Structures are given as C-alpha cells and as structure tokens.
Amino acid sequence: MSHDLSQLDATAQAELVRKGEASPRELVDAAINRIEKVNPAINAVITPRFEKARADAASRSLPKGPFQGVPFLLKDLGVWSAGDRYCAGMKLLRDLDWREPQDSFLAARYRAAGLVFVGKSNTPEFGSVTSTEPEAFGPSRNPWDPSRSTGGSSGGAAAAVASGMVPAAHANDGGGSIRIPASECGLVGLKPTRGRVSMGPAMGEVWSGLVADHVVSRSVRDSAAILDATAGPMVGDPYWAPPPQRPFADEVGAAPGRLRIGLRTQTGNPDISTHPDCDLAAREAAKLLESLGHHVEEASPAALDDRDVFAPFVSLLASWTARDVEAWQTKTGKSIGPRDVEPHNWAMAEIGRQVSAPKYIEAVVWLQAHARRIQQWWADGFDLLLTPTLAEPPPPLGEFTSTPENPMAGVVRSGPFAVFTSAFNITGQPAISLPLHWNGAGLPIGIQLVAAYAREDVLFRVAAQLEQARPWISRRPAIHA
C-alpha cells in the first residue's frame, strides 16, 4: 500500500476501504505499528487492544458503516467497550483490572459506524483537571513539545491524534475537556449541543448536563461525519437535542452567509489575564473572518462576567465527585479512602458530602438561570462568539500536581484553561476549537467559536471555511508517526 496513513484523516482512510485500495486489517495493522513506534515517547495509549482489534478488522461481521476499518481510540472515561479494562484514571480500578461486560451505547454506535477500537487513551482521574497526568498511568506528553501538557481531560486522545497514531479519537467535555486538548495539540475539537450524543445506558446525563461526548480530529469533515454516525437518543434518554435538518457532513463546504460575530479576548476574571499569544490568535482569526465577508465586533454576553458562577459550579462538581466515589465503592465492593483517589478528588468529594440536597438543587437552578442570561445574546441577533480557546499556551507538565497538604492546587491551576470554555458546558451550546495559530515557540494556540443551541450546522460551515482559508492538516509536531 503506497499511502502514508499517518497523514490521512478518517474520511480518507475509509475511502481507501470503499475503493478496495486498503483492507480494514491493513489500516489497523498500520495504526498498531504507529502506536508501538510513537507511544513510548508520549504515553497517550494506556490500554492496548491490538489482538482484539486485528480480529475485529478481519471479521466478516465488521459493520459496513461510513468508517469501516478505520482505527480509533476510546477515552478511558465515561464510555466503555465490552470486556476491556476500564479505569477512569483511577489506581484502584487499574489494580482491580476492572472490566465492564457490555458496550456503552456510544461505543456500540462507534462500532456500527465501522470504527475499530485499537486501545484506550489516557485521562486524568475522573476528568477533573485540565492536564492529563494521572497517578495511575503517568503524564501524556505533548507531541509538539514533550515537556508540555496535552491538556485535559481528553489529553491522551489528543496526543494520539496529533502524533498520527489514529486519525480521530473519542473525547468528552465537562468544562472544556475536548476543546482544551484540541487547542494544546493543534486539532479540531467540537463539544456538541447538550443531548446530541447519548450517555446511555448507565447515565441520562453527567455532571447535571455539563458533559458532552464526541471526538478530537484532524479535519472538520471528520468531526461532522462522526457526529452524524453517533448523534441521536437512546431509548429512555431524559432529553435530546433537536435533530438537524440535514446531515452535518453536508454543512462542510456549504456557504455560511454573512454572519454577525462577537469577539471576546479577555476573561472577565481579574485574577486571570489572557496571554498575548492567545489574544493574538483570536484577533487574527477575527481578521480572517472579516476577510471572508463576516462582520466582527468586540461584543459578548454580559453574563459571562458574572463571578457568582463559581460557587454553584463547584457545588455541582463536588457533589458529583462524592457520588462517583460512592458509586465505585458500591460497584467494586471496596472501601475507598483518601489513599485510593488523588488528593484533589478526595478534597472535592469531601466538599460534595457537605452539599445538602436543597443546596444542590439551588446550584442547578442558579446555573440554569445563568445559562438563560448568556444565551439571550444569541437570541438578540449574534450568530457566533469568537474567543481564544484558552487563556494560556500549553503549560509545562507538573504544574497540576495536588498533594494532601495542598489538595486543590491542580484544580486552581486549571482555571486559565477552562475560563473561556466552561460557560458553554453550563449553557449546553455547541462550541468548537480550531487550530488556526502557532506561537513563536511552535506551540498550537486554538480559537473557539460558539453557536446558538443546536446550531452545529453554523459551526461546521464556518469551520470548514476557515480550514480552507488557512489549512492546518499538513502541520506536523516534532513527535509524529
């Protein structure tokens, strides 16, 4: 086979299979070879699934979906595959060699699309900080600079895609965990609308609706086509996003028309200033959008400056952390104490145990009202909001470590990396990070576009327009297959 598969996106690899120019087994074998070559340097894949993947690819029962035979990684958090190790970043589950007996609903949809799971990607414990450095598996390293973070919590997935191991990988996002790693690793990262992708069968929602599942990818078309394959509810879901008028893949290349776009480059938090590299990335994107015929002005929802959001947000996350600890204690039959989870998660669980049921409901009600105030800005006539994805470039590894003496250090350090992203987990709006800028040190700096609720179509049209105007897919990090 003459193709360099490390340079092809998932759509192109699937096309090789459809044309008979490559077999699923060839695609999977090549991906396994790339993982074995590159993974020791960046620690993105923590659970290989190589022999099962080869068997799946060679099977006559491999679904003939739109991505038949394309190698893929599952993030080791929130989604599981039958019989494979599942750890959620926890040492306890690693040591127990914990396995789930059935596919989650999303894993089954990935399989139905023809994707072949070659392994599981690294993630911080419970996905609760914005750098992938779990005690259980060690840090994932950024292929653009291995001394730097990959972001979190989908940092292993992003490192694997950026380094050419696989063309796309599962990711999820509760405060920026798709968009943050996409920015730090130079990828496309869409957080879909709340309820677009089901979390069944175990959950109807996670973190009271903050979390959404999708992928990190190298191309806009992959993000759109994979969402087509996975969108839609499972029977019994408590709510779901309105279905699109046509496939998301059809929006790639469609004319977006002239859009009204607001620009926001400062955080609204006096304790967090936007790094000049990140400010520049957003302002250059604004100029590019103007050159494409859009109207851009410095404007954003006033509610984004509301500092009162911190307390209810922490109450909600802490309550869910306490629930997660208790749920794993029940499932495993093991007593879980402060030595069994990382210090920041134990501290959050302790906070969560002090949140009463009325206080929890009060936090949810406050955040829902806050979401209404933010979304009114789109209802008043704006099409998109443009921001930097992050307030800082990719940071050095080691800055997110928590200790029993300072358990919240990693959570506090995560602030600049979720300050532009987390609001749209609260609102449930779709938001995408695009790799339009690299700084003087050669590190990727993403920009974020946010659309109104259920308007991924607008994001895909504009993202594809930007991708064509300033292509990024040929860029290669220092560590690449």
* Positions marked active-site: 75, 153, 177
Who contacts 55 (Cβ-Cβ below 8 Å, separation ≥6)? none
> Contact at 8 Å (CB) between 195 and 227?
no
Quick one: tokens of 211? 């979390």
| CA atoms of 282 and 415, how far apart (whole Å) | 19
All residues at 6 or more sequence positions from 19 whose CB lies less than 8 Å from its CB, including other chains: none
Burial 243-260 (b: 16+ CB within 10 A, else e): ebeeebbbbbeeebeebe
- Measure the CA–CA gap between 100 and 79, rounded to whole angstroms: 10
- How far, CA to CA in Å, does 68 sit from each of 113, 413, 425? 7, 41, 32
User: Quick check: 74 and 121 in contact, CB under 8 A?
Assistant: yes
Describe the crossing of helices 105-112 and 220-230 by its angle, rounded to 10 degrees.
Answer: 120
CB 131 within 8 A of CB 112: no
Residue 121 to residues 73, 218, 325, 416: CA-CA distances in angstroms? 6, 17, 22, 24
Contact 366, 312 (CB under 8 A): yes
Q: Which region holds residue 36: left if phi is over 0, alpha if psi is between -120 and 50, else beta?
A: alpha
| Strand runs labelled E in 306-399 | 384-388
Q: In terms of C-beta distances under 8 Å and separation of at least 24 residues, what long-range contacts does 329-334 make, across chains too?
A: 332/92, 332/93, 332/96, 332/98, 334/92, 334/96
Identify whether 71 is preceded by a cis peptide bond (ω within 30 of 0): no
Q: Are 443 and 396 in contact (CB under 8 A)?
A: no
Q: Provide the 3-class DSSP secondary structure of residue 15.
A: helix
